[in-house]
């Protein structure tokens, strides 16, 4: 979905009042672990299991829907949990969604840990939309589940979702080569975070600053989280904690005016905060 096609929908979302958002967030009993991709330190996996209060009788739910090879994605996702002694999984493959039942919904809503591996975030959201799965995942989150996602599984956490496509360039690059207008392709993610937050992953390693800055030039009211590989944002209620090995970069556009000259963006007051493992920051 190109940016022109989502402007109206995202503008409506941004117009929701802070009071309404606060009420929604207060109702969420669950938490998020938004992983920037790359290797997952064993301590992060243990943290994930501990924070979800997982017992040996609880199944870890796997949703490998972003992958072009879901079976392989599930196999590698399981390995680290198994290394920590947990071998009970509910591996929901894309084909299972065709025979989805009310009992399965109830089971998922009452799960403690839902893990979303990487791949293509658009592929994941296409299945979510096709099977009307967004309300089920949101209900699980509101009911107390820890929803963890890495790479593409991180990108889907926010409502505005970066697809990775640069509209003005035919060839794909892991980052944007420019900061210019009408180059950013967006779609809609799950919206488990407040609507004004947008996620980018593999952030420092793949130098994705231009991509996230482009989003903040197009939508100055948004806040951008750039999450590095082997690093995660642990979100619980209004607090965010950095977990893992490296940093999370948080960008806010505080410019009084965003300028465009010859198609390129300019701004004079972009605030950058760099948070280290163990640091905490407010979600707003």
| pTM listed for this prediction | 0.90
Secondary structure letter of residue 158 according to DSSP? S
Q: Give the whole-angstrom CA distance, residue 183 versus residue 186.
A: 10
266 forms bridges with which residues in the sheet? 259
Strand partners, 259: 266
When mean pLDDT is compared across 120-124, 149-153, 174-178, 271-275, the lowest value belongs to 174-178
Report the pLDDT value the prediction gives residue 27, as an integer from 0 to 100.
54
| pLDDT value at 11 more than 90 | no
Strands (DSSP E) found in 170-279: 184-188, 197-201, 223-227, 231-236, 239-244, 248-253, 259-261, 264-266, 270-275
Number of domains in the chain: 1
Stretch 2-6: mean pLDDT, rounded?
47
Does the pLDDT value for residue 179 go beyond 60? yes
Residue 5 burial by Cβ neighbours in a 10 Å radius (0-12, 13-18, 19+): exposed
Residue 198 forms beta bridges with which residues? 224
- In 3D space, the residue among 279, 277, 278, 275 whose CA is nearest the CA of residue 251 turns out to be 275
Only one residue has tokens 């967030």, namely 25
What was the pLDDT predicted at 284?
A: 78
Report, as an integer, the average pLDDT of 257-280: 97
- The residues, any chain, with a CB within 8 Å of residue 227's CB and separated by 6 or more, are 34, 35, 36, 154, 199, 200, 201, 203, 233, 248
User: Residue 22 pLDDT more than 80?
Assistant: no
Domain coverage including residue 249: 3-282
Give tens-digit pLDDT for 57-107: 999 999 999 999 999 999 999 999 999 999 999 999 999 999 999 999 999
pLDDT tens digits, 225-251: 999 999 999 999 999 999 999 999 999
More confident residue, 25 or 221: 221
What average pLDDT does this structure show over 177-184? 97
d(CA 194, CA 222): 10
Q: Is the pLDDT of residue 20 over 70?
A: no
What mean pLDDT do residues 34-57 have? 97
Instruction: Give the Cα separation of 165 and 175 in Å (integer).
Output: 9
Which tokens is 222 given? Answer: 């948004």
d(CA 88, CA 106): 18
pLDDT at 28: 72
Compute the mean pLDDT over every residue in the chain, rounded to the nearest whole number.
92
Q: What is the CATH number of the domain that holds 170?
A: 3.40.50.880
Contact indicator for 93, 143 with CB cutoff of 8 Å: no
């Amino acid at each position: 979905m190109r940016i022109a096609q989502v402007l109206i929908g995202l503008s409506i979302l941004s117009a929701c009042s802070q009071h309404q958002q606060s009420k929604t967030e207060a109702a969420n009993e669950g938490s998020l672990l938004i992983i920037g991709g790359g290797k997952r330190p064993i301590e992060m996996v243990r943290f994930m299991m501990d924070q979800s209060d997982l017992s040996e009788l609880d199944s870890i739910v796997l949703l490998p829907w972003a992958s072009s090879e879901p079976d392989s994605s599930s196999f590698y996702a399981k390995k680290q949990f198994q290394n920590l002694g947990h071998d009970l999984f509910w591996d929901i493959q894309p084909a299972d969604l065709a025979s989805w039942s009310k009992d399965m919904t109830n089971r998922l809503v009452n799960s403690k840990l839902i893990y979303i591996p990487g791949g293509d975030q658009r592929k994941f959201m296409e299945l979510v939309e096709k099977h009307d799965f967004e309300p089920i995942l949101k209900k699980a989150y509101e009911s107390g589940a820890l929803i963890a996602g890495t790479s593409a599984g991180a990108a889907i956490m926010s409502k505005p979702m970066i697809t990775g496509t640069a509209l003005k360039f035919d060839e794909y690059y892991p980052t944007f080569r420019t900061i210019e207008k009408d180059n950013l392709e967006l779609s809609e993610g799950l919206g488990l975070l407040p609507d004004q937050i947008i996620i980018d992953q593999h952030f420092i390693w793949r130098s994705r600053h231009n991509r996230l800055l482009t989003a903040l030039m197009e939508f100055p009211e948004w806040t951008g989280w750039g999450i590095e590989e082997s690093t995660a944002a642990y979100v619980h209620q209004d607090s965010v904690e950095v977990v893992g090995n490296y940093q999370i970069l948080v960008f806010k556009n505080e410019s009084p005016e965003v300028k465009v000259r010859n198609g390129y963006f300019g701004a004079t007051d972009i605030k950058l905060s760099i948070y280290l493992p163990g640091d905490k920051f407010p979600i707003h």
